[in-house]
């Protein structure tokens, strides 16, 4: 079941930042989850933060999904550049075995269609 750590409502076109991860066996999951959720307390652009545990056999080995909702891409960019995010990203990435990050808008503000940008290993894939 998904766990909502910060609730909120974001009108379209909201940007959803998804983070799928498989962690190394020694990963301190409670610490990592609380650390990630704690970013919402210091980065106000994080409008909603939730996560869920996945079935690795049904999700190509991924164990967790984290989703942060932003009002727009500019707010996501503030989050990505924030020093607390950078510090936490360096910490959590040390425990990650496999990762996919994907950002998408609910609807494109120009034509109403769904738009997605996939990022693997920190590099955009178009």
Instruction: Place 104 in a pLDDT band, splitting at 50, 70 and 90.
Output: confident
Structure tokens belonging to residue 35: 């650390």
Instruction: Place 4 in a pLDDT band, splitting at 50, 70 and 90.
Output: low
Q: What 3-state DSSP class applies to 126?
A: coil
Contact partners, residue 2, CB within 8 Å, separation at least 6: 50, 51, 52
* Selection from 55, 64, 66 nearest residue 102 by Cα: 66
User: Interior CA angle at 13 toward 104 and 81, to 5°?
Assistant: 60
pTM: 0.79
Structure tokens belonging to residue 80: 């990505």
């Amino acid at each position: 079941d998904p766990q909502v750590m910060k609730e909120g409502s974001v009108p379209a076109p909201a940007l959803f930042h998804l983070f799928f991860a498989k962690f190394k066996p020694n990963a301190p999951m409670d610490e990592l989850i609380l650390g990630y959720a704690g970013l919402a307390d210091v980065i106000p652009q994080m409008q909603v933060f939730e996560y869920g545990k996945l079935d690795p056999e049904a999700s190509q080995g991924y164990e967790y999904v984290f989703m942060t909702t932003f009002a727009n891409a500019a707010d996501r960019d503030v989050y990505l550049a924030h020093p607390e995010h950078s510090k936490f990203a360096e910490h959590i990435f040390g425990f990650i075995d496999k990762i996919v990050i994907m950002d998408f808008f609910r609807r494109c503000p120009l034509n109403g269609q769904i738009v997605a940008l996939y990022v693997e290993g920190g590099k955009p894939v178009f």
